[in-house]
Amino acid sequence: MQDALRSSAIVVTGDIVTMEPRRERVDAIAIAHGRVVASGSRGEAAAACPSGTPVLELGGTVVPGLIDSHVHMLWGGRAMERLDLAGAASVEDVERRIAAAAASLPPEAWILGTASLDREDLREGRFPTLAELDRAAGGRPLFLDRRAHDAFASSAALRLAGIDRSTADPPGGVIERDGDGEATGFLVERPAAELVEHAAPSDTLEDRLRWLAAIQPEFLSRGITSVVDPALTPEELLAFQAAADRGELTVRTTAMPLGDGEVEPEGMMARFTGAGVDLDRRDDNLRIGPIKLFLDGGGSLGTALLREPWPGTDGYLGNQTTSTAGLRAYCSWAAANGRGVGVHCVGGAAIDLALEAFAAADGEHPIAGLGFTLIHAYLWPSEENMARARELGVLVATQAPLQWSFGPGLVRRFGIAAVGRAHPLRSWLSAGVTVGGGSDGPDFETVAPLFAFWQMRRRTIQGRDDAVGPGEAVDAREALALYTTGAAAVALAGDRGRLAPGCVADLVALDVDPLTASPEACRDGSVLATMVGGEIVHDAR
Ligand SMILES: [Zn+2]
């Protein structure tokens, strides 16, 4: 029966939102070979299929499969089996959790994990010291990633990485040091973090396949059927390729190869192809997206590249982690080769630099349609930035849930009015820019699109009840579009995000109608069932 369903047609009936302007709601869609072949009345759908085609009533409100246009799926799977310090309330708590992880390991083994913490999250208002990390780790090498930018390392880890007081900072990164010039164990930005990460035992293909297998059900249960995974090494991309080849990549993925401004684009791409990555892959389940570059730090990290100095600093503007020359070289090369570049740019000065590089590349070869993308772009994109993005056909990957998580810290630094102007969704859309929604997860609290629908409509931040910048809120239809048609554009997948003939048959049945329910009802709603390619892949009915 299962095989018959897979190869033959099926009619799905119910209250179906298609995201097609001409026929937004229908009673049925007909599916064959994993794609929508008809949508309309029950009679119209049935007429498109052989007689005797099974009919499935999913219940609730059915919407196109939801798309997260910026989520670290692979790293999320890895985090599921490693130490995670999320929610730690004090340095003591951090030490206790590290010590618990250490207790299960041999004395020489590395402790690997994530510590996406801010100083203010900890009661002491500071990060753990190197001595505290060493004590908790019992002398073991410890490496804790902080939001894919920074890292914490123990003395043993620094030693194994060959870092001592004579080690120079790598380009784009800082080895934080104390007054005596000794490393504190806090490494600022990826180039510094990687010095230690590369000294740790390397992950295997089987590790990565296991992580992908572990995390996909989490996404499917939240209605996410497609993602853009936005910063992958050759080895990580090979895992996606292997998962897709084995039929294990159910969550359709647009995978972005990670570039490096210090390496020529041709040489960088040769590293991928040399490792066996097919950079021209464009399957339904796996396609290669734009090249990713990190241009600045983060808003919550206090390292985004701003136009004005960071408050409370002596003129510090933030970190530029890729040189302007490197950025320009990638944009120019990508445009000439029919590819896109997705630039992590949080602060206004980084957004300015990215758009200047995009415009320069556009002057050589038109970039519209190639996937040139501003990623994050939330600490105050200007009206001029928005107009330019629209003119150039530049996409924006935005993550409203970050306003919720990072809001309190940003309010402390910049005040409520400035935070109200951050993540300006309304302004981007009014400027006519194509914007995709996403989470920058996988923090499972905020990765759920239903949570984002609430946040984008209410503009609430953690710990407050009032709307922060209510003028930048979007309406119910726009919120759904951000996670369907908008995110599909960012994923370079025009046959997703809609339930129209020819589109992939990815759909989600929700127990709330996201177009008519209140934002709170969306937040508290749940996913009844998820289908990918016409097959049920999550069922909570
Ligand atoms: Zn990210």
- Residue range 340-363, pLDDT digits in tens: 999 999 999 999 999 999 999 999
Q: Is residue 148 within 8 Å of 231, Cβ to Cβ?
A: yes
Distance 360 CA to ligand 1 centre (A): 25
> Cα 123 vs. chain centroid, distance in angstroms?
29
Distance 287 CA to ligand 1 centre (A): 18
- What is the model's pLDDT at position 2? 40
Distance 460 CA to ligand 1 centre (A): 21
Distance 396 CA to ligand 1 centre (A): 13
Distance 541 CA to ligand 1 centre (A): 32
Judge whether residue 443 has pLDDT over 90: no
Q: What is the spatial distance between Cα 72 and Cα 70, in angstroms, rounded to a whole number? A: 7
Distance 189 CA to ligand 1 centre (A): 13
Does a cis peptide bond (omega within 30 degrees of 0) precede residue 514?
A: no
Comparing CA positions, the residue from 295, 296, 278 lying closest to residue 287 is 278
Distance 265 CA to ligand 1 centre (A): 21
- What is the model's pLDDT at position 62? 98
Judge whether residue 25 has pLDDT over 80: yes
Over residues 52-60, the mean pLDDT reads 94
Distance 294 CA to ligand 1 centre (A): 10
- What is the model's pLDDT at position 3? 42
Distance 32 CA to ligand 1 centre (A): 35
pTM of the model: 0.91
Q: What are phi and psi of 522, to 5 degrees?
A: -65, -50
- What is the model's pLDDT at position 111? 96
Distance 109 CA to ligand 1 centre (A): 28
- How far is the CA of 151 from the CAs of 109, 234, 321, 329, 351, in angstroms? 18, 21, 15, 28, 25
Query: What percentage of the chain has pLDDT greater than the value 70?
Result: 99
Q: What are phi and psi of 10, to 5 degrees?
A: -150, 145
**3-state SS of 388-411?**
HHHHHCCEEECCHHHHHHHHHHHH
Neighbours of ion ligand 1 (CB under 5 A): 440
Distance 44 CA to ligand 1 centre (A): 43
- What ranges in 169-279 are assigned the alpha helix state H? 190-197, 205-221, 234-245, 265-275
For tokens 């016409």, the residue is 534
Distance 389 CA to ligand 1 centre (A): 20
Residue 328 region, left (φ>0) first, then alpha (ψ -120 to 50), else beta?
alpha
At 207-254, the pLDDT tens digits run 999 999 999 999 999 999 999 999 999 999 999 999 999 999 999 999
Distance 282 CA to ligand 1 centre (A): 22
Distance 413 CA to ligand 1 centre (A): 22
- What is the model's pLDDT at position 274? 98
Q: Is residue 322 within 8 Å of 341, Cβ to Cβ?
A: no
